[in-house]
Amino acid sequence: MRAFFDRALRASFHDLALGNDPASPYLADLLTRFARTENLYPRGLVMPRLETVVDLLLETQAVWEDPAHFQPEHEVTVCRHVGDFALFMTGIFRERVESTASTGYYVAQGKRAYHFVSEHDRASSRATAAAAPLYRRLADQFERYAGALDYARRVYFIDHPRHPFFQLRFG
């Protein structure tokens, strides 16, 4: 599945004259990860299933408000998921976001989340500091990447019963 997404994104980036963008492998990984529903809608510490950007933001807030749940790394993980979820939904299921939420809200929260992760990783002395430029790029060019995902979906993803995104929409 990863190879399929990698090929589709490389072809899409080529078609859109985006070149060999360093975010392409991350986006292929994101699509592969979110092909499994439990990765798209994870269990939270305070909510049984996180299904919207608002749910994810409430999870982040709960981490700060309840000392029993306070785990700074969990906040970073949730923020990364907010960015990934918002990017995925605005790129792959844009029509659904437009019909159930504000696309502008998803874009703003996705950019904000990736910016937070970028700054956290940049300030970190851990190995993740090397990932900071990628998250900054995702924040700064969020709409561009959402557009590339939308293009890949429309041009290279096929509505076939065995295709993972067909299952997400119709399964």
What is the per-residue pLDDT for 157? 86
* pTM for this predicted structure: 0.79
pLDDT digits (tens, 9 = 90+) for 124-145: 766 555 688 899 999 999 999 9
pLDDT digits (tens, 9 = 90+) for 67-104: 666 666 767 888 898 899 999 999 998 888 888 778 89
40-to-55, 60, 91 alpha-carbon distances in Å: 12, 16, 14
Q: Which residue segment(s) compose the domain that 144 sits in? A: 2-170
34-to-9, 61, 80, 131 alpha-carbon distances in Å: 15, 24, 13, 20
Task: Give the Cα separation of 37 and 166 in Å (integer).
Answer: 12
| Angle (CA) 124 127 131, round 5° | 80
5 or 121, greater pLDDT: 5
Task: Give the Cα separation of 29 and 56 in Å (integer).
Answer: 20
Cα–Cα nearest to 154, from 27, 15, 58: 15
Q: Provide the number of structural domains found in the chain.
A: 1
